[in-house]
Structure 1
């Protein structure tokens, strides 16, 4: 069963049950109040009869006295202790009451009796009768008018219930449609997305801020994230396959040469082995950097501690000098301590230093200073530089300013993209300034711990 139908049925049944409960409460409360009112009125009449009989006892016949007080359609009688009526007076159309058996009550009794489906108010009050014994003065008064009014009230309540349930049925349908409309729209959008392959969104209502609005907003955010990840995946796979195709082709070509002529030509053998080894190293670097970049969709695990920036740079520079036999000069303008992840900062520094090594043969200069509450690290090379047309694109994945030069320097076009990801994790700002033929300066701005 559809959710809209469930809401429709459950809402209708619930409201109908509540309406029935309210109507039953109104009816029985009204019945109780009206019957109690009639009984109280009959009791007051019985006390009036008791007072009148007591004042005029002995001056007239008892039946004549009681006849003056008997209500229309009712009965007044005096019942002796043996249960036999001593005096019975019937008013109007109360002959049916005379056929009822009399019963003596010692104390006062106030109740409603049903005789032939007609309610009667019954009052019994002790009275000292003419012979000196204590008898029971009993008044029975018809409540047919009240019963008729209750019947009319019941008919009105039933009619009101029926007239209320009809619009309730249709309003429940409207309510179910209103509640399930965002869900239906969500399902339709998901089906359209699945069939068309396009990431569609649901229009958000401007007035509502309820859970359905939040669900729709969350769905749209999920669509945005899925679309962004899908685009990144397509671009990443396309670029990666393009980059891997070249080393694989080289390896395949040299492998074929080795298979055909490798045993006969030693120079060809050495050249092929060197080329295959070189391309294999490039593929390993490419794979490692691709795996690192894949972490951008995960939460990087940070090990934040307070470190001396000079110590980190000196340690990184020493390792770099031993690995590549390249001189690195460090100028410390300000001694700075900051809260950072040492390993990730070293990795970020290594990327820029490695770029400086690839594109220049001279000394690499590093400068540390403090500016506007931030630690500034500047890494400068004196190489070929980058034109302004390419500066905005060098942080894109697989982007290489000069493919031939990048091949020569073993560039993959992934280092600066990884640097951007690391900078975001470390809450750092990075930028490049360069002049063609004079060199490039990479700047890293890190927040200083208090």
Structure 2
């Protein structure tokens, strides 16, 4: 059974049960109150008869005396101690009451009895009868009018219950649609996505903030995120495949050349080995950068600590000069503590110094200045520089300013942007075509060390 049908079935069934329960409670409670009230009135009438007879002590109780008290819808009977009836007086049309069984009641008694399917109020009260004997005065009154009224009440309750079921059924149907439609729309959308492979959002009308609206909104946000990640992944794979294709083609070509003539030509052998080695290094660097960028999906592990900037720069610059045999000029600075992740800041500096080495021939210049509560590191080269249009694209993955260069993959600055965000630094680039480029890293001053994931 579908969810909407189940909701409608269970909701309608529950409310019908509650309506029947309430109607039954109303009917039986009201009938008991009415019957008790009629029985009490009959009992009061019997007591009044006994009192008036006892007050008329000059007259011996007799059938003629009781005839004045006979109700029009009942009977008066006097039952002696031996169980025989001394008096049987009935009102009009109540002769059938004399045929009902009876017996002597020693004590006062009152209840509702059914004669020929009609309820009657029965009251028995002790009375001093002729010759001073004790007898039982029994007064019986028909409650047919009360029964008719209760039958009308029963019909009214049944009609009201039936009439209430109609809007109840419609409201349950509306409720089931209200709950099931967003779920059904979610299922249809998911089936369309699975069938077509295209991302699609749920169309949901209304401004309510209920759980169904939140579910649809959450699903749409998830689809947007999945689509964005899918597009990034598709673009990333496409660009990575394009970048890896060139070194692989070079390696394959030189390997084939070595296979054909490598043993015959020493110069060709050296050239091929050098080219294969160079392209292998390029592929290794590209792969490392790809892995670092992919790591951003798993979040960076960052350990922020207070480090002395001057010794840190001294060590980093010395390592870079030794590895790339490139002069780096930098000015000594006062002892300043900055808050950062040492290893990731070193990697960030390497990226900017590597780019400065790649696009310039002269010395690389590093300067440090202080602004408010932050420290700024400038890495400047006097190389080819960039235009405003190129400057806007340099942080895009795989973008290279000089496409004629085979060195590099175009991932360095994209990685630098991710690293800077991870350690809470700010990076900016300024450049002039033909005059050089300056990269700036803005770092917060020292604070408490802590470990976090971003």
Q: Same fold (TM over 0.5)?
A: yes
Residue 433, structure 1, aligned to residue 430, structure 2: yes
**1:130 and 1:343, CA in 2 relative to 1: closer, same or farther beyond 3 A?**
farther
| Cα deviation, residue 17, structure 1 | 1.4
Shift of 1:4: 1.6
Distance in 2, matches of 1:102 and 1:254, equals 127
Moved more, 248-257 or 70-79: 70-79
The corresponding residue for 2:340 is 340
- Are 2:53 and 2:61, in contact at CA under 8 Å, matched by a contact in 1? no
1:175 maps to 175
- What is the alpha-carbon distance in structure 2 between the residues aligned to residue 302 and residue 114 of structure 1? 91
The DSSP-based 3-state class of the residue aligned with 1:403 is coil
**How far has the Cα of 1:58 moved from its partner?**
4.4
1:46-65 correspondence runs (5 A): 46-65=46-65
Tell me, in whole angstroms, the C-alpha distance in 2 between the residues paired with 1:424 and 1:25.
70
CA distance in 1, matches of 2:22, 2:279: 85
Other-structure match for 1:240 = 240
Paired residues, number: 447
> How far, CA to CA, are the matches of 1:145 and 1:304 in structure 2?
93
Greater CA drift, 190-199 or 39-48: 190-199
Aligned pairs for 1:181-200 (under 5 A) are 181-200=181-200
Q: Deviations over 1:278-303 (max 9, x none)?
A: 11111111111111111233332332
1: CA distance between counterparts of 2:304 and 2:18? 61
Q: Residues 118-154 of structure 1, C-alpha deviation per residue, up to 9 Å, x if partnerless?
A: 1111223333444445443322211111111111111
- Runs of 4+ more than 6 Å apart: none
Deviation per residue, 1:36-75 (Å, 9 max, x gap): 2212222221222222122124415432333222222212
TM-score, with structure 2 as normaliser: 0.91
Task: Report what 1:35 is aligned to.
Answer: 35
What is the CA–CA distance in structure 2 between the aligned matches of 1:58 and 1:332, rounded to whole Å?
Answer: 140
**Structure 2 match to 1:212:** 212
Residue 419 (structure 1) aligned with residue 416 (structure 2): yes
Name the TM-score, length of structure 1 as normaliser: 0.92
Distance 1:207 1:184 in 2: 19
Contact 2:339–2:443 (Cα < 8 Å) also in 1: no
Kept after mapping to 2: 8 A contact 1:376/1:446: yes
C-alpha distance in structure 2 between counterparts of 1:307 and 1:81, whole Å:
118
Q: Once the two structures are superposed, what CA deviation does each residue of 1:346-382 show, in whole Å capped at 9, x if it has no partner?
A: 2222222222222233333333333243332222223
SS of 2:302's partner is coil
Cα displacement string for residues 297-337 of structure 1 (whole angstroms, at most 9, x for unaligned residues): 33323323344444543443333233223344444667544
Q: Distance in 2 between matches of 1:359 and 1:209?
A: 55
Structure 2 equivalent of residue 113 of structure 1: 113
* Corresponding position: 1:8 with 2:8: yes
C-alpha separation between the residues in 2 aligned to 1:346 and 1:262?
A: 42
Extract unaligned runs of 5+ from structure 2.
448-454
- 1:371 corresponds to: 371
Considering Cα pairs closer than 8 Å and 6+ residues apart, tell me whether 1 or 2 has the greater RCO.
2
- How far apart are 1:219 and its partner, in Å? 0.9
Determine the structure 2 residue equivalent to 1:226: 226
| Contact 2:307 2:446 (C-alpha < 8 Å) held by counterparts | no
Separation (CA, whole Å) in 2 of partners of 1:212 and 1:203: 12
**CA shift for structure 1 position 213:** 0.7
| Deviation sequence 1:205-262 (CA, Å, 0-9, x none) | 3431100110111011011101101111111111111101100100010000010001
1:5-28, Cα deviation, whole Å (9 max, x unpaired): 222222221221122112112211
| C-alpha RMSD over aligned residues | 2.3
2:450 alignment counterpart: none
User: Aligned pair in 2 of structure 1 residues 313, 79: CA closer, same or farther (>3 Å)?
Assistant: farther
**Does the aligned pair in 2 maintain the 1:332–1:369 contact within 8 Å?**
no
> 1:392, CA displacement in angstroms?
0.7
CA distance in 2, matches of 1:69, 1:332: 129
* Pairs within 5 Å for 1:152-163: 152-163=152-163
Q: Which runs of 5+ in 1 are unaligned?
A: none
User: How far off its partner does 1:342 sit?
Assistant: 2.9
Q: 1:388 to 1:48 in 2, by over 3 A?
A: same
Aligned pair in 2 of structure 1 residues 443, 153: CA closer, same or farther (>3 Å)? same
Match of 2:439 in 1: 442
> Structure 1 residues 124, 321: CA separation in 2 closer, same or farther (over 3 Å shift)?
farther
